[in-house]
Amino acid sequence: MYVKKNFGFKSLMRFTGGHIIWMTIWVTTVTAVHEATHWSFLSIPWLPISVIGTAVAFYVGFKNNQAYDRLWEARKIWGAIVNSSRAWGAAVKGFVTNQFADESLSKADLYAIQQKLIYRHVGWLYALRSQLLIPTPWEHIRQGAMMKRVMEARRKRFGIGLLDDDVTMKELICFLPKGEYDRLINYKNTATQIIDQQSQDLKELRSTGIIEDFRHMELQGLLNEFYVHQGKCERIKKFPLPRQYGSSSFIFVGIFLFLLPFGMVTEFDKIGHHAAWLSIPFSVLVGWVFLMMELIGDYSENPFEGLGNDIPMLSLCRTIEIDLREMLGETDLPPAIEAKDGVLM
């Protein structure tokens, strides 16, 4: 998540600089050929191009709305995960007591049970984040060789590469009980199995009388909420913005950018001798605006891609971890995740 108020010039150039270069080359080539040859077929009336531009603007606007909906829904889901996680910590502390126990446990034993349930939940958070960052076939990192190299570089300077991303595996080992990590990590969906293990522990606590039926149902209800939150995240991750919208938008913008200099040079040529050269900066400017609209939507439709526009899952995981460990009375806590180069991961 980009946390600065505005994008700086340097950031804009990193994001669109390469596109500005090829657009400038294309527009300059069309203008130069037009001025050198005065071929009539290079002059296209502005009306059809303006109609295409209007249609493209509406289409890209629709796509961007849908992309933003996906991004905002993902943020709302993680906000719900934060709230439910705090409720889980408070419920575990308040419900796991000797009040209904068949045999009273020591404070140390009760604390160990509470810590295990809370720590395992923190492990679930990091496991879920790790699973959501696995690339899908439609994400940028899984495209052709050139796009893959560009995305790997962008991830390093404007994404998860800004931080040590081994944190997920390190944290998972720390928060799962001995013997559980090796077993749970081998499942296809580790996060799902972690919650199932939580449910099994609750069943055991009920059988020993540490919790009675009401508390068991309340705690299980929170686990069910976590399954709902996880399922919503997986729905966004595993179902893309329909490609007929995403791909068509890219094609339509490409057609418009291809035709744009032919219409611009025609209009500016009417002003006077050599005025056609003025079409170059204006064509690049108009093309850049349309390209920016397309790129903004394109890089917002996948909120779990590991890029700078993503949901800051690592920061949210660390925030929850700190909150829950403070509930346990711990003081030796990790620092909150800070933004780096204006990006909070």
- At position 209, the amino acid (one-letter code) is G
On the question of pLDDT at 156 being above 70, the answer is no
Task: Name which residue leads in pLDDT, 259 or 3.
Answer: 259
Cα–Cα distance for residue pair 277/35, rounded to 1 Å? 8
Distances in Å between the Cα of 146 and the Cα atoms of 22, 38, 143 are 16, 37, 8
The rounded percent of the chain whose pLDDT value lies above 90 is 41
pLDDT mean over 301-305: 88
Task: Please report the pLDDT score of residue 306 as a whole number.
Answer: 81
> What tokens does 337 get?
């995740």
> What tokens does 235 get?
């729905």
> What tokens does 5 get?
């108020």
On the question of pLDDT at 332 being above 80, the answer is yes
On the question of pLDDT at 7 being above 80, the answer is no
Residue 134 · residue 117 · CB < 8 Å: no
Does this model's pTM top 0.75? My answer is yes
> What tokens does 62 get?
């629709």
Question: What is the 8-class DSSP label of residue 42?
Answer: G
**Residue pLDDT, tens place only, 250-285:** 899 999 999 999 888 888 877 877 778 888 999 999
Task: Please report the pLDDT score of residue 166 as a whole number.
Answer: 60
- At position 331, the amino acid (one-letter code) is T
Cα–Cα distance for residue pair 260/23, rounded to 1 Å? 10
pLDDT mean over 145-161: 68
Question: What is the 8-class DSSP label of residue 140?
Answer: G
> What tokens does 222 get?
């929170």
On the question of pLDDT at 107 being above 80, the answer is yes
Question: In which band, very low, low, confident or very high, does the pLDDT at 169 lie, cut at 50, 70 and 90?
Answer: low
Sequence ranges of the domains in the chain: 9-327
Residue ranges of alpha helices (H) inside the chain are: 9-37, 46-95, 107-132, 145-158, 167-175, 180-184, 190-207, 213-238, 243-269, 279-298, 313-327
Cα–Cα distance for residue pair 40/110, rounded to 1 Å? 87
**Range in 12-16, 30-34, 167-171, 296-300 the model is least confident about:** 167-171
How much is the mean pLDDT over the chain?
86
Task: Please report the pLDDT score of residue 258 as a whole number.
Answer: 93
Task: Please report the pLDDT score of residue 231 as a whole number.
Answer: 96
